[in-house]
Chain A
Amino acid sequence: MSDKKRFLDKDYTRRQFLKLSGKSLAGVAMSGAMLSALGVTADALAEDKVRVWAFPQGLLVVNADRCVGCQRCEINCTLTNDGCCSSYISRVKVTRNLYSSRNGNGLYTENNWTYFPDTCRQCEDPACGNACPMGAIYAGDDGIRRVDTDKCVGCGACAQACPWHMPTVNPVTRKSSKCVMCGACVEGCPSGALSIIPWDKVSSAAQEI
């Protein structure tokens, strides 16, 4: 099968992007159509201002330049998944980058206008799941990794193991939670800083690669 035809296959496309995820995308010759679909420039990718993650539903694009710091991603995440409104237990995390992040970004730093949401990468080889002593983090048929709350004991090993500290133990329920790709953050993002490009659109744009 030619590469071009194989790109039309959604699973193949996702696998290719999983290999390329994040900054390494910048090293790939991207077609104009592909960059246009991502809504970015090649420079933006190269400078890590736009991050792209391969999710089962499509490519999740995080465009830092478009993030306006409203925290509605966290709000919609917790309203949808926790029945409450919170920043700390949100599965998408922008507040920790908004004030003074560990990376020197945020409103109280010299890099005032750089802030953006961190998202779960839905890793194929997940550090969170591998670290869980109870085997509570599992992958469903859809490829999304979830926390089995019956098994979770709230030890926090997942949060520690994740290189980006995305899972969070809810201080009230003592259960870990992580992104389940519900899409609430993307649907409610008022600036388009978070967006999902469905795989069929990616495949279509990728034919020109």
Chain B
Amino acid sequence: MSVKNGINGWAGSVLRVNLTTGAITTEDTLPKYKPFIGGMGIGYKIIWDEVPLDSDPLGDAAKAVFSVGPLTASGVPCSGRMTVSFLSCWSKGNSIVDAHMGGHFAHALKYAGYDAIIVEGKSDKPVYLKIEDEKVSIEDASHVWGKGTFDTNATLAKENGPEFDVISIGQAGENLVPMSCMVTSFGNSGGGGVGAVLGSKMLKAVVCRGTGAVKIARPMEVRLLSNYMIKDLVGGNNNHTVPTIPQSWAEYSATSSNRWQGGPGVTWDKASNGPIDMGEQPSGQINVAALRCNKGVFDFGAVAEKYTVKQGGCSSCPVRCYTEYDMDPLADYDLPTHVSNTCMPIIKMLDWYPDHIDAATGEKVKSTHDFVDQGDAKMILGGAGSRAADDYGVWCNYGSLYEDFNMAYTTGVLKDVITKGGTDMTEWDAIPWDLMENGDPRWLVEVYRRIAMKEGTFSDLGLGTYLLYEKWGMDDPAKNAAGVNFYDFVNGKNFNIGHNGYPRHHGPESCWQTGTILSLMYNRDCMIHHLINFVSSGAPFDAIIKPVLEGFFGEGCVDRPKAYTPINENKIKLTKWAFNGKQWHDSATLCNWMYPMTIATSKKRNYVGDLDLDAKYMSAVVGEDYTREDLEFDSERISQLLRVMTAVSFKLNLGSANLRQDHDQPSDWVFDKDPDFKPFEEGTVKLDREDYAKALDMWYEAMGWDKETGIPTRATLEKFDLGDCADKLEALGLI
């Protein structure tokens, strides 16, 4: 415990658990890992040092590193996240990825006295890890193996006691399905295929209770900074800073519907003692901050109010982005009515219900229907689907799972593959299509069950886009019934940002060249929210967004929606800030859905946010003077490590020596959509190939990477004390 060992911020210990030998040991955090901050940084460093990058991601040598950082559980708002780093078992190159999880577990781990858990080896029987401060043990999990995450978490919480938090994997992870996750709290999950990685080790769950404390160098300063942030800077989730519904104190209401949906007349109808009106939430007031976000109304409209009990979320966060529902129409289908989730796992379930051909008439028919109120189908099906996905522990790859199904179904590829070109109808006829065609929520339980249990060819969807396309020939027009390359397909729905098996995450559709580059920098979807947060903040572009951002990064750094401009130096400056900033947030750990505080709610600040706030927090928590530049430098070390690991994996696993060609290229649809428009015309978000090539040149130069290969130079790596990385690249002939 840090209060015991006198360390500010960090807990001070890394826990190592070997599931093959049963050995449980600890080591000091700071001597080795302080230059890598914590969280993602620690995780990447450990994998780099200890796991050969050509290892089987599900093999004996693979490891998973759970990690938190110096700001986790420090009192800083939105510091409730944990990362888990491991090798990808599903994306191109099988390189480093991480799962990011909210909920309350990160706080429990830190209070128990650990900055990280290294899980290595493999158990030969189902086990769970029990952590209660210094007492750590490997426990039998045979009684929960085979069960869903809700049952598992409830069982282990009950068995271990009221103050234990739990993470578990579902059947998808147990069965090594690449599209798998781990689940905690209620619907809080970490994805990236972590379920399969833990499943391969037969580690069903981790339970944790911490009676310790995180030592803070200047505690009252942390409290005052937190108050200032909540009063003057924080709006709804994704830090949308202007309310959608006009409020009497507010100069502006949102230019388009955003995530600050709380307002007078917006209610939690199912609160146990009658509706709670969210009322007005003026900037400057702490006690209403949690009433600004109403994710349910943002996702589904006013119909969500009817089933809302309250709003939940993560430890320490005053912005509650998990609407907690009691959707009683689901009881008619014998499904659980309590559901809670946010974003992709709950908003895109209609993709599982494509229009179908009516057998009697031959006409195309809509597959969904409303349940009780007009327009409630998306919400009710979303609730059923999110609960089923979480229970089976299936990960959606930021919506790609549904996109892949939807595109395969609507183009005929799904039927062609499952029926082997129409020659074998056995599996196809056994699938209860009537559930889909009738808009029945039990269809979602059925599809997730098939995927999690690896039942039939249908379950190939759980391989993830990269392996699925390869197996079903969807990456080659000559090999599939639709005759298209689904990576490049221009259909208005394509999410694939490149050919690597993961989608854009706020890419070209909203964040010009910057979002496109960022979406291609990792080995999974980038999950960077630096840009989309201000883009969609609801603030007027000319009056607030443009002047605030140009004040930080210079003229022309941002584009108006659907009015893009060619690449320039200030856009690259913005890109670098966002890229390194993401690494900082996942290492600190701070929630990148909320940070950085780019735009403020406060009129007296002229709505200008505070990009130095993170450094102020770090200084107050750790007791050493940090500047924004200090944090960006340490974060860039992690960015460089990510890039090196990607290059090494691509070399070892694919024989590639060029990330520019083989990793960083967008899909064709990015350039070919909207054929009636030219790039940079108002009204389109399409990009230009030559301009993107120039953008990559400028980006590589800014990052110190070779322009031909996109691989860091030795000089760049030595600047960040990563000489060992340069040695490895040199040994492989990559530099």
Give the Cβ gap from A11 to chain B, nearest Cβ, in Å. 27
With a cutoff of 8 Å between Cβ atoms, the chain B residues found around residue A76 in the complex are 75, 223
| Residue B287 CB within 8 A of the other chain | yes
| Residue A112 CB within 8 A of the other chain | yes
Contact of A172 among B1, B77, B288 (CB under 8 A): B1
Contact of B73 among A65, A85, A187 (CB under 8 A): A85
* Nearest CB in chain A to that of B273: its residue: A44
B286 touches A188 (CB 8 A): yes
B316 touches A75 (CB 8 A): yes
A interface bracket (residues with beta carbon within 8 Å of B): 35 or more
Give the Cβ gap from A4 to chain B, nearest Cβ, in Å. 29
Contact of B162 among A68, A100, A187, A191 (CB under 8 A): A100
| Residue A86 CB within 8 A of the other chain | yes
| Residue A78 CB within 8 A of the other chain | yes
* Alpha-carbon distance between A49 and B288 when the two chains are bound, in angstroms: 20
With a cutoff of 8 Å between Cβ atoms, the chain A residues found around residue B730 in the complex are none
With a cutoff of 8 Å between Cβ atoms, the chain A residues found around residue B640 in the complex are none
A85 touches B216 (CB 8 A): yes
B310 touches A85 (CB 8 A): no
Total A-B pairs in contact (CB under 8 Å)?
176
With a cutoff of 8 Å between Cβ atoms, the chain B residues found around residue A86 in the complex are 3, 111, 211-214
| Residue B550 CB within 8 A of the other chain | no
| Residue A150 CB within 8 A of the other chain | no
Interface positions, chain A 165-195, Cβ under 8 Å from B, are: 171-172, 184, 187-192, 195
Interface positions, chain A 110-152, Cβ under 8 Å from B, are: 112-114
* Alpha-carbon distance between A96 and B226 when the two chains are bound, in angstroms: 24
| Residue B245 CB within 8 A of the other chain | no
| Residue B164 CB within 8 A of the other chain | yes
| Residue B107 CB within 8 A of the other chain | yes
B interface bracket (residues with beta carbon within 8 Å of A): 35 or more
A96 touches B309 (CB 8 A): no
Contact of A66 among B74, B230, B310 (CB under 8 A): B310
A108 touches B318 (CB 8 A): no
B213 touches A84 (CB 8 A): yes
With a cutoff of 8 Å between Cβ atoms, the chain A residues found around residue B4 in the complex are 172
With a cutoff of 8 Å between Cβ atoms, the chain B residues found around residue A190 in the complex are 230, 286-290, 318
Give the Cβ gap from B661 to chain A, nearest Cβ, in Å. 46
**Per-residue interface assignment for chain A, residues 79 to 96, with 1 indicating a CB less than 8 Å from any chain B CB and 0 otherwise:** 110111111110000011
Contact of A85 among B211, B214, B220 (CB under 8 A): B214
A75 touches B75 (CB 8 A): yes
Interface positions, chain B 89-138, Cβ under 8 Å from A, are: 104, 107-108, 111
| Residue A101 CB within 8 A of the other chain | yes
With a cutoff of 8 Å between Cβ atoms, the chain B residues found around residue A171 in the complex are 1, 211-212
* Nearest CB in chain B to that of A113: its residue: B309
Give the Cβ gap from B240 to chain A, nearest Cβ, in Å. 16
* Alpha-carbon distance between A66 and B320 when the two chains are bound, in angstroms: 12
Contact of A50 among B268, B273, B315 (CB under 8 A): B273
| Residue A37 CB within 8 A of the other chain | no
Contact of A69 among B154, B163, B312 (CB under 8 A): B312
A41 touches B75 (CB 8 A): no
A84-B216 in contact given A64-B272, A68-B310, A108-B153 (Cβ < 8 Å): yes
With a cutoff of 8 Å between Cβ atoms, the chain A residues found around residue B186 in the complex are 107, 112
Give the Cβ gap from A172 to chain B, nearest Cβ, in Å. 5
A82-B213 in contact given A70-B318, A102-B162, A190-B318 (Cβ < 8 Å): yes
| Residue A3 CB within 8 A of the other chain | no
With a cutoff of 8 Å between Cβ atoms, the chain A residues found around residue B492 in the complex are none
Give the Cβ gap from B385 to chain A, nearest Cβ, in Å. 18
**Per-residue interface assignment for chain A, residues 37 to 60, with 1 indicating a CB less than 8 Å from any chain B CB and 0 otherwise:** 000110110010110000000000
The 21 listed contacts between A and B (C-beta, < 8 Å) are: A41-B274, A47-B272, A64-B272, A70-B313, A70-B316, A72-B77, A78-B75, A85-B214, A89-B211, A99-B157, A99-B165, A100-B158, A102-B162, A106-B157, A113-B312, A171-B211, A184-B223, A190-B289, A190-B318, A191-B291, A191-B320
Using A75-B316, A86-B211 as known contacts, list a sample of 12 further A-B pairs with CB atoms less than 8 Å apart, ordered by residue number in A.
A47-B273, A69-B312, A78-B213, A82-B213, A83-B216, A83-B219, A86-B214, A89-B211, A95-B163, A99-B104, A171-B211, A191-B288
Q: Which residues of B contact A (CB under 8 A)?
A: 1-4, 73-75, 77, 104, 107-108, 111, 153-154, 157-158, 162-166, 185-186, 210-216, 219-220, 222-223, 226-227, 230, 268, 271-274, 276, 286-291, 309-318, 320, 324, 326, 338, 340
